[in-house]
Structure 1
Amino acid sequence: MIKAPPTGRWFEDLIAYLVDGLVRAEDMAGFVVDGPAGCLVSVALGSIYQAPPGPTYSGRTGYVHLVLTTPGYRRQGNGRAVTTRLLDWFWEQGCGLVSLNASTDGAQLYRSLGFEKNARSMRLFGP
C-alpha cells in the first residue's frame, strides 16, 4: 500500500525553499528518486560550509539537512541511493567531514554508511 506523500505547512515551506534557494546555491545539492506521475519517492538535501580548519581536516564541511522517503517506498534502497549520491557529491567538493542529526528511523541507514554517533554533540533551539 502506497501512502500519500508528505503534506502540511512544513512541506510547502520546503518546496518554496527548493524553488527559491537550492536552485541558485552552488554549495547546496539535492538528489531525488521520482516515481509514477512525478511522485516524490525519496530526496536527500545537503549543503557545504567552511568551518575553521582543524588539525585533521580542512574545515570544508558537509551537512545533511534532510533525507525523506515516502512511506510506501521505504526499505527499497531509495533513501540509501539519494544519501549515497549526496555523500559522493560532498567528497567531490572536497569536504573532509559530513554531519547530520539522525532520526530514530534513519539511524540504521546512516550507521551502515559509516556515520558514527558523537556523544559530544549538543544543540540549543532558540526561543
Structure 2
Amino acid sequence: MAIKNHSWMGEPAVSVPVRRAVIADAEELARIRQLSLTCPTEPWTTPRGLPDGPWTKDCREAFAALLGDNDTFAAFVVDAAPGRLAAGAVGLLLPRLPGPDSSKPFNGEINAVATDPRFRRCGYGRAVVGALMDWMVSRDCHRISLTSSSEGEPLYASLGFVEGDPRMIWQIR
C-alpha cells in the first residue's frame, strides 16, 4: 500500500511504499523497537546505547505471536531491502468501556515507532504512523495515545497529537 496523504497528515506527502508487517518481520520489528528505545535525550545527538539481552529474544517472540492476532495488533513498515526494515510503527487496540463522550469499543496505543538512522527525513515515520492511525480508526478507535521522544514530538504534533491529561502510573520494578 502506498501512503499518500491522510486528513490528519497535512500537506500531501511523497508516496511511500508501506505494508502491514507479517510474522517473518518479527526479528526486524524487535530491532525497530530497540531503535525506538535508544532515542537520545537531546534531539539529533548520538543514540543512547541499549544492551541486547533476554529482552530482545522475548520481544521477537512477542512480535511473532502478536502478528498472528490481526484484530487488536498491527505493525506497518517500510522495507529497506529484503529482510531489512527502514521504518516501522507498532500499535494495539485496547478495549474500552462506553462513556458519555463515545461508545466506540477501543482506544489505540502506539508502542514503538522508529526509522533506521540511514533512512530518516524521508517521510517514512510519517507514513507508517499514518497507516497505523488509519488501521486504528477503521476499527472504530476512540482515542490514540503514545509516548514520544523529544525527536518525535514535531512529527506527532503535525499529525494532530496533543499533550493529554497527566496519568498516574504504577509499575513493578
1:65 aligns with 2:111: yes
1:89 aligns with 2:143: no
Deviation per residue, 1:20-63 (Å, 9 max, x gap): 22223421111010112432111111111112222112252111
Deviates more, 1:9-18 or 1:110-119: 9-18
Find the residue that maps to 1:35 and give its secondary structure: strand
1:8 aligns with 2:52: yes
1:35 aligns with 2:50: no
Residue 100 of structure 1 and its aligned partner are, at CA, apart by 0.9
Residue number among 41, 48, 52 corresponding to 2:97 in the alignment: 52
- Code of the residue aligned with 2:89 in structure 1: it is A
Deviation per residue, 1:69-106 (Å, 9 max, x gap): 11111111011100000000011000111111111121
The runs of 5 or more residues in structure 1 that have no matched partner are none
* Identity among equivalent pairs (%): 34
Paired residue total: 124
What is the TM-score with the length of structure 2 in the denominator?
0.64
Alignment partners' CA distance in 2, 1:122 and 1:82: 29
Alignment partners' CA distance in 2, 1:123 and 1:107: 21
Residue 12 of structure 1 and its aligned partner are, at CA, apart by 3.5
Q: Give 1:20's aligned residue.
A: 65
The runs of 5 or more residues in structure 2 that have no matched partner are 1-30, 36-50
When the two chains are superposed, the root-mean-square deviation of aligned CA atoms in Å is: 2.1
